[in-house]
Chains A and B, each alone.
Chain A
Amino acid sequence: MDSITTAASVVAAGLAVGLGAIGPGIGQGSAAQGAVEGIARQPEAEGKIRGTLLLSFAFMESLTIYGLVVALVLLFANPFAG
Chain B
Amino acid sequence: MSTLRKTLKKSPFGEASEVQMHNEISQKTEKATHSVSSEDSLQDASTEYVQLQRRIFQSTLIVSALVVVLTAFFVGIYFSMSVLFGALSGMLYLRLLARSIGRLGVQSGSVSKAQLLVPVVLVLAVTRLPHLELLPSLLGFLLYKPSLVIQYLLKP
Contact = CB atoms under 8 A, between A and B. Distances in A.
Contact of A54 (B97, B109, B116, B145): B97
A39 interface: yes
Nearest to B38: A43
A65 interface: yes
B15 interface: no
Interface in B87-146: 94, 97-98, 101-102, 104-105, 109-111, 115-116, 119-120, 123-124, 127, 134, 138, 141-142, 144-145
B44 interface: yes
A51 B47 CA distance: 11
A2 interface: no
Interface residues of A, number: 30
A80 interface: no
B45 interface: yes
Given A43-B42, A65-B116, A73 B97 contact: no
Interface of A: 28, 32, 35-36, 39-40, 43-48, 50-51, 53-55, 57-59, 61-62, 64-65, 68-69, 72-73, 76-77
